[in-house]
Amino acid sequence: MQGIAVIGIGQTQIGEHWSVSLRELAGQAVFAALADASMGKVDGLFVGNMLSGTLVRQESLGVLVADWVGQKNREAFKVEAACGSGAAALRTAIMAVSSGEMDTALAVGVEKMTETKGPETAAALATAADADYEAFQGVSFVALNALIMQRYIHTYGWQHSDFAPFSINAHANAVNNPYARLREPISEQAYRDARMIATPINLLDASPIGDGAAALVITSTEHLAPTREKPVIEIKASTSSTDTLAVHDRQDPLFLEAAYKSARRAYAQAGINPQDIDLFELHDAFSIMSALSLEACGFAERGQAPRLALDGGIQLSGSLPITTLGGLKARGHPVGATGIYQIVEVVQQLRGAAGRNQIPDARIGMAQNIGGSGATVLTHILERIS
């Protein structure tokens, strides 16, 4: 892959932004990213978004955002891969730069989810699953993950409370992230007592939805200004794979094959081993997904990820810090924007700009964004090279 660097990052706080429109929300992130990159214009703009057609009644998101942020006449369109839409927009931007079609590109993730009623939002989220063979049966997206978690607990002999460290760690890390939606620490007792949503997933296993936007400016490293003050963060790997869309079609629903393939190819592309990774922003939409991602990416044996968490390995001081600024669980999960938030946070860490949550000497960071229940998986590895 040609050398590509992230030279600008921007993000909005995740919350209920009822007074801010979709384009304004995206604009806040874009303007922050452009300012961070000290740039006014880019050559193209790709928007990651899942639900704007359903919940905001707005498609044409590419031109909507390009027009609003003063990038008229640029190429712009929207990319959708359910909750993996953000990283898919980044993939598109990377291919655009790497093909030589453009020198600089913006990848923007944006989602507005809180102005509709709960059942409407839940039904919209179910469009990430197989409409004909899963959602049609009344299976919600939480319920699908609950089936997987139930099976995992049964197969490997864990207790529900063994998953507590994933949520506790995410909440602890979000406290210091001003962009996070849930900045309250939670206790193990609170986790045990949380309201059940779809057995065995309780409220504190699940990430909160939210309105939010995040943006990245990328450029070919050939065009990097030599006088840059900020560290150069290069994208060393960008890969994507797919599994079956429906969970029941998988030989083993406890193994994220697409995550495995995507990660393995990313390691090869970057020329590294999992052990070289200093932090991992994974897709903890539900705590069970943290476990499955860690295993698929080679950080834990099959069925043993809860052990890594219980031993503290996933904490900021652990062997593999995850969700270092709150993850989906506590930073929040504005679905189509999440993949961009993850990369923004990896860049914060690699720049040494993660504040009180800084991983000392972080040099290599990985982000993994998942659409559907492991159906579409995108993996990016970034490295500080100056």
Query: Which is nearer to a second copy, 177 or 239 (by Cβ)?
Result: 239
2 near a second copy, judged by CB under 8 A: yes
28's tokens: 């806040």
Chain centroid, CA 366 distance in Å? 11
- Exposed/middle/buried for 282, CB within 10 Å: 0-12, 13-18, 19+? buried
Question: Quick one: which of 3, 53, 231, 352 contacts a second copy (CB under 8 A)?
Answer: 53
Map tokens 């969700």 to a residue. 323
Torsion-angle region of residue 184: left (phi > 0), alpha (psi -120 to 50) or beta? beta
CA distance 137 to 260: 29
Q: In angstroms, what is the minimal distance from the CB of 69 to a second copy? A: 11
Binding track over 295-334 against a second copy, x by CB under 8 A: ----------------------------------------
Binding segment (CB under 8 A) for a second copy, from list 10-18, 66-74, 313-321, 356-364: 66-74
In DSSP terms, 241 is beta-bridged to: 377
In DSSP terms, 238 is beta-bridged to: 380
Closest of 278, 246, 247, 282 to residue 263, by C-alpha: 282
25 near a second copy, judged by CB under 8 A: no
Q: In angstroms, what is the minimal distance from the CB of 33 to a second copy? A: 19
Single out the catalytic residue among 171, 283, 333, 380.
333
DSSP notation for 155-178: HHT--GGGGHHHHHHHHHHHTT-T
- Catalytic, 83? Answer yes
In DSSP terms, 4 is beta-bridged to: 220
Question: Quick one: which of 242, 272, 307, 318 contacts a second copy (CB under 8 A)?
Answer: 242
Question: Quick one: which of 258, 296, 305, 362 contacts a second copy (CB under 8 A)?
Answer: 258
Return residues touching a second copy (CB under 8 A). Answer: 1-2, 21, 23, 50-51, 53-54, 56-64, 66-67, 71-82, 84-85, 88, 91-92, 94-96, 98-101, 123-124, 126-132, 135, 239-246, 249, 257-258, 261, 371-372, 375-376
